[in-house]
Structure 1
Amino acid sequence: MVALRGQARGAPAPRHGRHGLHGPAPSNLHGRGMEYAESREYVAGDDVRHMDWRLTARSGRAHTKLFQAERERLTLLVADTAPALYFGTRARFKSVQAARAGAVAAWSAVMAGDRVAALRGGEPAIPPASGARGAMRVLDALVRWYAHPPPDDAGLGMALEQAQRLLRPGTRLVVLADPQAASQVPAQRWRALARHREATLVLLQDPLEAMPPRRMLAFAVGKRRVQLALDRGDVRERWEAAFAGPLRMLAQPLPGLGWRVRVLSSDAPVQHGPWAWDGDGAPMAERG
């Protein structure tokens, strides 16, 4: 997980022209910010929209509110821990790939100067922090969450509800999810989460789910052994409805709601992460 730092990429560097830098230079400031700092007496030229009316009424003198400049943007990782993720047929489990993708996202955020935080349904959020300390906190949580299915998983819906209470305008949001779990989330929730934010949904998929063989295939379900005749058309149709159907349900409407949707196979590399951007700000091509 720590070694994946080399696969991360931060914000693009300013472009160079013939005579040096040109265009807007990157800044650590991200606007006025929403953190209240203090109030002081109003002076001519202050924005009347920031008047502290309560203090004005108590003191009899006009006061205005001051806000702490927001120097670091927040990147929030939401980790789905649905039981279906703890499965894999090639290279690694989908849960392990989710942890790897989350690690690259965390390192990318730190390299871009963001604070990084993470949460899952069932426990309090990992608080935001910047630098290596913030990344290591998130990595530790990802290892814990994705090594084994958490016994107290409250579901992706609960995790997204918790995330909505923490998010502010300008936040980067990365959701790591099982397609079937994500397809159960109402469109209204997806729309609200993406409003005024940079939102990416990473859907984890196993190669077997995408391309099952055309033959009889045996599965262990608990202590039972189940065989599926995947060479039969009706069985393959049900298979496709179970695995490809949720992907279609998400990939078609969510971009119109402000989301970037990426499908990440469990055997694909996570170089730069599926949320990476090229130099022109356009989404990078899908990897694997």
Structure 2
Amino acid sequence: MRDSKNRSSEQGPEVGAGIRPSLAELVALRPLARQRTPVRRARSGARALAPSPHRGQGMEYAESRDYVSGDDARHIDWRVTARTGRTHTKTFQRERERLTLIVADTAAALYFGTRVRFKSTQAARAGALAAWSAAADGDRIAALAASDGSLVPPAGGGRGALRALHALARWYAAPPATDPGLGVALEHARRLLRPGSRALVLADAASIALVPARDWAAIGAHSDVLVLLLEDPLEHAPPRARVGFATPGGRVDLDLAGDAQRARWRDAFAQPREDALTRLRAARIGVESLSSDAASDAWLPAFARSEAR
């Protein structure tokens, strides 16, 4: 797992207040996603939806052309080669636009933050960047909430991205009344994903840890899956002082000055995090951490790398 630090092209003051994500804030991230997203192009200058000599998941035959040095010999078109007397190779194109699915964990632990913004707001911003990045790649974009299984159906381009942004702003405005858990959302996601699809899972460590490794392995069997672990600095380095928190049930004060209290605090966050990483490693699922005070786009290079895995 890599920690997404505060190195970014993100400039200027924060667009939102940090407690609840606004649609305007998420829309404003579009240029940032473009800066961070390498455009996938073939040698002709077209996007990667154009024919490619390299066959991958979700690819179909497009045409045959003259073989050149460096082409994969496994894709030689023997029929055309025999007919023309010159070696030809098959080229391939995507059977359909790739699907990028954003899975939003909505556990109550995400609606919390001590620096810059809540983890929930950071999750919404990260999801928005993924949507804009996917739109730039020519993907269809869908989004799924863990709270009630709400699905934003797949759509391409700016329209698909905006639909996802509307949903993210709504889902992360406040904790849901009920939340069946991330595992239910992942089961739904597994039915939606097809070979060659890509998924980004926005989640809290405790939610990740509750999903068995076999379920993570199932969702990652035929798709590129990246988990973004949302964190807050206070979870790992609490101040040696009395700290007050605003909760749905009222204000709560915790004395974190003593060593015993601080040890219990760290263990409460450290164990779920370790369990989460253990499950993801066992399932060979990629994971990045993103702190609430980090640049929201710091993890995007890993999202671009996910398609190469």
Scaled to the shorter chain, the TM-score interval is 0.7 to 0.9
Q: In structure 2, how many angstroms separate the alpha carbons of the residues matched to 1:107 and 1:158?
A: 26
Displacement after TM superposition at 1:197 (Å): 1.3
Which 4+ residue blocks in structure 1 deviate beyond 4 angstroms?
11-15, 220-226
- The one of 86, 91, 98 equivalent to 2:116 is 91
- The one of 118, 134, 148 equivalent to 1:109 is 134
**SS of structure 2 residue aligned to 1:129:** strand
Displacement after TM superposition at 1:14 (Å): 4.9
Displacement after TM superposition at 1:223 (Å): 5.0
Distance 1:126 1:223, change over 3 A: closer
**SS of structure 1 residue aligned to 2:60:** coil
Answer with 109-118 or 143-152: which moved more.
143-152
Displacement after TM superposition at 1:209 (Å): 1.0
Displacement after TM superposition at 1:253 (Å): 4.3
The corresponding residue for 1:52 is none
Q: In structure 1, how many angstroms separate the alpha carbons of the residues matched to 2:95 and 2:185?
A: 25
Contact 2:123 2:230 (8 Å CA) reproduced: yes
The corresponding residue for 2:258 is 232
Contact 1:217 1:229 (8 Å CA) reproduced: yes
Distance 1:132 1:101, change over 3 A: same
Displacement after TM superposition at 1:196 (Å): 1.9
What are the residue-to-residue correspondences of 1:246-261 with 2, within 5 Å? 246-261=272-287
- The one of 47, 57, 60 equivalent to 1:32 is 60
Contact 1:74 1:114 (8 Å CA) reproduced: yes
Percent identical among aligned pairs is: 49
AA aligned to 1:115 is R
Q: What is the TM-score with the length of structure 2 in the denominator?
A: 0.70
AA aligned to 2:98 is R
Answer with 254-263 or 181-190: which moved more.
254-263
* 2:27 matches 1:2: yes
Number of residue pairs matched?
242
The corresponding residue for 1:195 is 221
Displacement after TM superposition at 1:69 (Å): 6.2
The corresponding residue for 1:276 is 303
Distance 1:188 1:239, change over 3 A: same
Q: In structure 2, how many angstroms separate the alpha carbons of the residues matched to 1:69 and 1:221?
A: 48
Q: In structure 1, how many angstroms separate the alpha carbons of the residues matched to 2:185 and 2:142?
A: 13
**SS of structure 2 residue aligned to 1:119:** strand
For the aligned residues, what is the CA RMSD?
A: 2.9
Q: Which structure would you say has the larger RCO, counting Cα contacts within 8 Å and 6 or more residues apart?
A: 2
AA aligned to 1:31 is M
Displacement after TM superposition at 1:107 (Å): 0.6
Q: In structure 1, how many angstroms separate the alpha carbons of the residues matched to 2:250 and 2:165?
A: 36
Distance 1:247 1:27, change over 3 A: same
Distance 1:229 1:152, change over 3 A: closer
Distance 1:229 1:7, change over 3 A: same
AA aligned to 1:142 is L
What are the residue-to-residue correspondences of 1:211-226 with 2, within 5 Å? 211-220=237-246, 226=252
Q: In structure 2, how many angstroms separate the alpha carbons of the residues matched to 1:256 and 1:155?
A: 21
Distance 1:173 1:223, change over 3 A: closer
**SS of structure 2 residue aligned to 1:81:** coil
AA aligned to 1:72 is E
Distance 1:236 1:270, change over 3 A: same
AA aligned to 2:141 is V
Displacement after TM superposition at 1:224 (Å): 5.9
AA aligned to 1:250 is A
Q: In structure 1, how many angstroms separate the alpha carbons of the residues matched to 2:169 and 2:195?
A: 29
**SS of structure 2 residue aligned to 1:117:** strand
The corresponding residue for 1:266 is 292
Displacement after TM superposition at 1:250 (Å): 2.1
